[in-house]
Amino acid sequence: MTDIQTDFCVVGGGPAGLTLALTLLRSGTRVTLIERSSSFDREYRGEILQPGGMAVLDALGVLAGARERGCHEHDGFQLVDRGRVLLDGDYRRLPGPYNCLLSIPQRHLLQELLDRCLAFEEFTYLGGSRVTGLLEEAGAVRGALCEGRGERHAVLAHCVVGADGRYSKVRRLAGIGYTRLDVFDQDVLWFKLPAGDRAPRVVRVFLAGGNPVLTYASVPDGVQVGWTLPHKGYGSIAAEGVDHVKEQICAAIPEYTGLVRSHIGALSDLTLLDVFAGSAERWVRDGLVLIGDSAHTHSPIGAQGINLAVQDAVALHPILLASLRNRDASAAFLGAFTAGRRPPIDSMTRIQRAQSRVMLSTGGFVSVVRPVLAGLVSRSPVYRLMLRKIAYGDPAIRISSELFAPGPA
C-alpha cells in the first residue's frame, strides 16, 4: 500500500468534485481526486446546464473549451399539455451572456475540468479507483483508502470531500443517514432518438396524463427523451412487450411516433433509472464534507443537478482554504458550508415540490384548472422571480478568485 499525503482528498470526479479540485489547485493547495471510473466515455443523463452553472464554469475558464467539444443551446423550456403550451420559460429574456439552457454532454465538461486539473503538479488523479474505507482518528476523518489498477493507496488529508453522487459510498462509510423525499419518487425511462435538422430549440415537458415526458436536443444530433413513470411501475408495462411500450410512448409524445416506431427495436434500447430527491442527514463531520448529490439529490424537474453541484464547490472552496490555514477541520468549522448552502438548497427543493405537483397531478378537475392557473402564473411577477431562481440559483455565489495563486489558469 502506498501512502499519499495531500491537503484535500476529493472522492468523485463529477461536476462537483472536479470543480472543487480546480478551485483548490488554483489556490495553491495539494489535491488528490479518487474517481471510480477509468474514463468519461459512458452515458450520462444530466446534460442541461443552467445560466448560474455556466457563469461559474466560465469564470473558471472551462466553459468555452467544453462548448467547443459540442453542445446545443436551448431558448428556454415549455410545459405542454395536449399540444397546448401552458408555460413558456423564455430564457432569452434573461440578462446575457448566459441567457439560454445549454445541453452539453457531461463527458465534455468533465474532460475539460480534468485537463485543467492535470496541468498542476500538486494534483494526483486516481482514476479507476474505488474507495474502500475512511481513515479515522479520535472520531475524525483523516483520509481515505482506495484501490484500483492493481494498486492500493492510503490518502492522508486535512479534509475529505465526498462528491461521489446520490449513492455516495463516502456518505455510507461515514455513517451518515439519508432521507428520501416524496417530492419526486418516480422512475424515468431514458432513450435517444435521431433528430437530424429537427432538433428542438427548447426543452419541453409533455404532461402526458400525469407521466411527464422530458425532451431536449442532445449532442451530436439526437433528442434525449425521459419518460416519467410511477416508482416500480415500469415492470407491468414492460411485461406486455416492446411493442406495447412503444405505443405507450407514442401516445405520450405523438410528434415522435415515427422515430419511436423505427428506432426502438427492443427493451434493451431503453434505460430505466430510479430518480429520487433526498438529503443527507448532515453534510459535515469532523474532517469530512459532502457536496452535490452526495449531500442533496434533486429530481430532473428544473434541471438543477449540475447547477447546484458546481455552486456547492464554489461555496466550499474558501471555507476549505480557511480550514487548512487554521488547521481546523472540525464539524463546527466546516459547518459554515451547511449554514450557507442549506437555505438555497431548501428553497430549490420547495420550487421542485411545486413543479412536481403541477406536472404529476392527474384527474378531470386538474385538467380543467391547470391551464387556467398556468396562464395566471405565467403573467405574474412571482413566475418571473421563480424563473430567475431556477436559472441562477443562489445569486450570492461567486468564485473567490482573490484566493487564487499565480500559476496555470
Q: Find out whether 126 and 152 touch, Cβ atoms under 8 Å.
A: no
State mean pLDDT over 178-198: 81
Q: Find out whether 136 and 285 touch, Cβ atoms under 8 Å.
A: no
pLDDT band at 369 (very low <50, low <70, confident <90, very high): very low
For residues 175 and 155, what is the distance between their CA atoms, to the nearest angstrom? 19
**What is the pLDDT at residue 398?**
93
Provide φ and ψ at 44, rounded to 5°.
Answer: -120, 155
Q: Find out whether 326 and 333 touch, Cβ atoms under 8 Å.
A: yes
Please provide the average confidence, as pLDDT, over all residues in the chain: 89
pLDDT in tens, 212-270: 889 999 988 899 999 888 888 888 889 999 999 999 999 989 989 999 999 999 999 99
Please say if the pLDDT value at position 41 is more than 80.
no
Helix (H) or strand (E) holding 390: helix 381-392
pLDDT band at 96 (very low <50, low <70, confident <90, very high): confident
Q: Which residues are within 8 A (CB) of 379 and not within 5 positions of it... i.e. 6 or more apart? A: none
Sheet with 72-74, strands from edge to edge, namely 48-49, 101-103, 72-74
Please say if the pLDDT value at position 189 is more than 80.
yes
Q: Find out whether 278 and 297 touch, Cβ atoms under 8 Å.
A: yes
How much of the chain exceeds pLDDT 70, in percent?
91
Higher pLDDT, 386 or 375: 386
Higher pLDDT, 336 or 95: 336
Q: Which residue has the cell 488523479?
A: 125
Name the least confident of 17-21, 105-109, 263-267, 303-307: 303-307
Q: Is the pTM of this model over 0.85?
A: yes
**What is the pLDDT at residue 299?**
79
Using N-to-C axis directions, what is the helix angle for 364-378 and 381-392, rounded to 10°?
A: 90
Please say if the pLDDT value at position 195 is more than 90.
no
Q: Which residues are within 8 A (CB) of 283 and not within 5 positions of it... i.e. 6 or more apart? A: 289, 290, 291, 295, 296, 337, 338, 341, 342
Please say if the pLDDT value at position 361 is more than 70.
no
**What is the pLDDT at residue 351?**
82
Q: Which residue has the cell 424537474?
A: 301
Please say if the pLDDT value at position 366 is more than 70.
no
State mean pLDDT over 191-215: 84
State mean pLDDT over 13-38: 97
State mean pLDDT over 66-73: 94
Q: What is the DSSP letter of 26?
A: H
